[in-house]
């Protein structure tokens, strides 16, 4: 099924994508399960109030739309002088984090993983104000 990018926030890597009659907010880490369905009004507000750029790019599928979003995000960040990180392993992230962050991460992980004997990953996301408003 063809998908069309209706609007994009290049620096954030976020797009509003139409598949058939359905609009979805597609943002990293780019999963359809976590992508909310939006109204036409939300599309208009994203462009008029939250700085999204209109787009009419069409793709044969979701994979190509995601590749395009990744490419535009990298291109936009490079133009702003923002360094793009390479692949970082988990140990590198913990080593680079301030001691308080590492402690909070480890304590949170221990607490979550002990619930019901299941191994569960805790993920904390900070949304820019425009995403919280949609």
Contact 2, 60 (CB under 8 A): yes
What pLDDT digit, counting tens, does each position of 73-106 carry?
888 888 888 776 654 555 555 555 555 444 444 4
Task: List all residues 6 or more positions away from 119 whose beta carbon is below 8 Å from its beta carbon.
Answer: 113
Same domain, yes or no: 12 and 65: yes
What pLDDT digit, counting tens, does each position of 52-81 carry?
999 999 999 999 999 999 899 888 888 888
Tally of domains in the chain: 2
Strand ranges inside the chain, DSSP E? 3-9, 14-19, 22-26, 37-38, 53-59
Pair of tokens at residue 19 = 């598949």
Same domain, yes or no: 62 and 38: yes
Low-confidence winner among 13-27, 37-51, 81-95 (lowest mean pLDDT): 81-95
Same domain, yes or no: 69 and 108: no
């Amino acid at each position: 099924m063809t998908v069309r990018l209706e609007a994009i926030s290049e620096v954030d890597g976020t797009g509003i994508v139409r598949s058939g009659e359905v609009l979805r907010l597609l943002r990293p880490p780019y999963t359809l399960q976590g992508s909310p369905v939006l109204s036409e009004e939300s599309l208009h507000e994203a462009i008029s109030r939250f700085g999204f750029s209109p787009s009419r790019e069409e793709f044969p599928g979701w994979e190509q739309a995601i590749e395009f979003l990744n490419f535009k995000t990298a291109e936009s960040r490079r133009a702003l002088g923002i360094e793009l990180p390479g692949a970082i392993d988990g140990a590198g992230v913990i080593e680079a984090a301030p001691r308080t962050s590492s402690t909070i991460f480890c304590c949170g992980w221990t607490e979550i993983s002990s619930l019901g004997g299941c191994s569960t990953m805790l993920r904390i996301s900070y949304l820019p104000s425009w995403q919280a408003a949609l």
